[in-house]
Amino acid sequence: MSDPTRAPELTARAAALDAADPLAAVRDRFVLDDATVYLDGNSLGALPAEVLPRLADVVTREWGELRIRSWEESGWWTAPERIGDRIAPLVGAAPGQVVVGDSTSVNVFKALVAAVRMAPPGRTEILVDAATFPTDGYIAAAAARLTGHTVRPVPAAEVGAAAGPATAAALVNHVDYRTGRLHDMGGTTAALHAAGALAVWDLCHSAGALPVALDADGVDLAVGCTYKYLNGGPGSPAYLYVRRELQPRFDSPLPGWNSHADPFGMAPGYQPAEGAVRGRVGTPEILSLLALEAALDVWDGVTTEDVRAKSLALTDFFLDCTAALLPAGRAEFVTPAPHAERGSQVSLRCAGAAEVMRELTARGVVGDFRPPDILRFGFTPLYTRYADALRAARILADVTEGTA
C-alpha cells in the first residue's frame, strides 16, 4: 500500500490547495466516485450529471413522441450551429464561425482541402506537424494527393520558420498529444500569414483545458474533438471553425445537402449556404450532439482563465509530488516545465511503461500508455483535485519501486 505518512507536507499542501480552489464545486456537476483517480479526461472526459436526464427526454419525448416534428420543434436541425456557438467562447471565437458534426478526422479533411483551395495559386506543399496525432497526418497525405500537393513534415515549433512561397497551408496540433507540449498559435499563425499560407489548427488537446484565442490569433481554420476536455461522451461529434472573412470562399470537399443554401429545395445543383453551416455535410448525429449540448452546461460560470490557472497549479503540484516521492532516475519528465509550453497533461518516460500503467489502473489510477515508453496523465481542472494528484503520485511511486 502507498504510505500516506511519507512526505506529510504534501498532504497538507494538497488540502490547502483544494480548500482554496475556486473550481472545487464544479466536480459535483460530474458523475464520479472516489475509488478511482481519473487522469484520462484528455482521452474521454467524465460524464456530466446533466447528460442522463437530458438524453432520457430527447429519447422518450423528442424522438419517442414528437418523432419527425422534432427536427423543427425540438431544434434538431439547427443543433450543429447552436452547439457550435456554445463551444465558440471556449475557443475564443465570436458567434457564427463554429459548426459541430462528423469526427475530427473528417473535419481535418474538410479544413485542409478548403485551406489549400483558398491559398494563392501556384503553391505546392502542405506543412504538417511532424509529431502529429496520426490521423491528422494520414488525412493530410490524402488531402495533398487529391489536390496535387506534397506533404512536408516539420516540427510544430518550426512550422512558422519553415513556411515559404511554396507553402499553401500548415496543419498543426496546438498541444502535442504525446508530450503535452503547447505550441505558439499566435506566432506560428502570423509567420504562416507572412509567407502567404493558411493556418489550420487542431485543438483536440487544448480546447477546454486552456484559453484558445482563434479570432485574436487570426487563425484561418480549426478543428477539435468534443469527447476529451469538453466531456461530450464517446464518439461525440467534432467541430470546425472557419474564420468569418473566409467563409464565402470556403469550398467544401464534402458538400453534402446539409450545407446547401436551401436543403429542402432538393435542387439538383449545389448552392452553398452562407456562414458556418457551409461546413456541414449530412444529417447530424442528434443523440450525440444533444448529449454534448447538455455536457456543455458544466461550463456555466467557469472561465477558461480559471481552468488554465488550476491546470498549471495541478500539473506543477503533480510534478513536485513525483519528484519528491519517486525513486531517483525511475522516470523522466517529458512535458515541458515552462508554463508557456505546457498543456494540461504530464507525460513521463519510464522503463516498462505499459506494465506500470496496467498496475496503476489496477490500483485505481487511470491514465494512459503511449508507445513506446510514455505514461500520460491528463489533468482535467473541472473535476481533478490536488489530493487526487498526490494519491496518483504516491501509487506511481509504489508501483515504480516495485514494493507492491
Ligand X SMILES: *Cc1c(COP(=O)(O)O)cnc(C)c1O
Q: How far is the CB of 262 from ligand X (least distance, A)?
A: 30
**Is 234 annotated as belonging to a binding site?**
no
DSSP state letters, 228-256: STT---TT---EEEE-GGGGGG---SS--
Rounded to 10°, the helix 8-19/386-401 angle is: 150
Binding string, residues 207-236; x marks residues near ligand X by CB under 6 A? ------------------x-----------
Residue 40 Cα distances to 25, 49, 248, angstroms: 20, 18, 39
**Is 78 annotated as belonging to a binding site?**
no
Contact positions with ligand X (CB under 6 A) in 136-195 = 136, 173, 177
From the list 173, 95, 181, the residue with the least C-alpha distance to 133 is 173
Neighbour-count burial of 245, counting CB atoms closer than 10 A to its CB (0-12 exposed, 13-18 middle, 19+ buried):
exposed
> Of 128, 198, 204, 399, which one interacts with ligand X (CB under 6 A)?
204
Q: How far is the CB of 289 from ligand X (least distance, A)?
A: 14
**Is 304 annotated as belonging to a binding site?**
no
Residue 31 zone, left/alpha/beta (φ > 0; ψ -120 to 50; rest): beta
C-beta closer to ligand X: residue 234 or 327: 234
Beta strands per DSSP E along 250-340: 331-333
Tell me, by CB under 6 A, how many residues bind ligand X: 13
CA distance 343 to 376: 12
Beta strands per DSSP E along 323-367: 331-333, 345-350, 365-366
**Is 322 annotated as belonging to a binding site?**
no
C-beta closer to ligand X: residue 36 or 135: 135
Q: How far is the CB of 177 from ligand X (least distance, A)?
A: 4
C-beta closer to ligand X: residue 177 or 377: 177
C-beta closer to ligand X: residue 114 or 203: 203
Q: How far is the CB of 331 from ligand X (least distance, A)?
A: 23
Q: How far is the CB of 42 from ligand X (least distance, A)?
A: 8
**Is 257 annotated as belonging to a binding site?**
yes
**Contact (Cβ atoms closer than 8 angstroms) between residue 33 and residue 47:** no
Contact positions with ligand X (CB under 6 A) in 100-129 = 103-105
> Of 135, 147, 303, 361, which one interacts with ligand X (CB under 6 A)?
135
Q: Which three cell numbers stand for residue 193?
A: 500569414
CA distance 39 to 181: 17
Q: What residues act catalytically?
A: 133, 202, 227-228, 376
Rounded to 10°, the helix 8-19/304-325 angle is: 170
What does the binding site for ligand X look like in residue numbers (CB under 6 A)?
A: 103-105, 133, 135-136, 173, 177, 202, 204-205, 225, 238
Q: Which residues are annotated as a binding site?
A: 104-105, 133-136, 202, 205, 227, 257, 283
Q: Please state the residue numbers annotated as binding site for pyridoxal 5'-phosphate.
A: 104-105, 133-136, 202, 205, 227, 257, 283
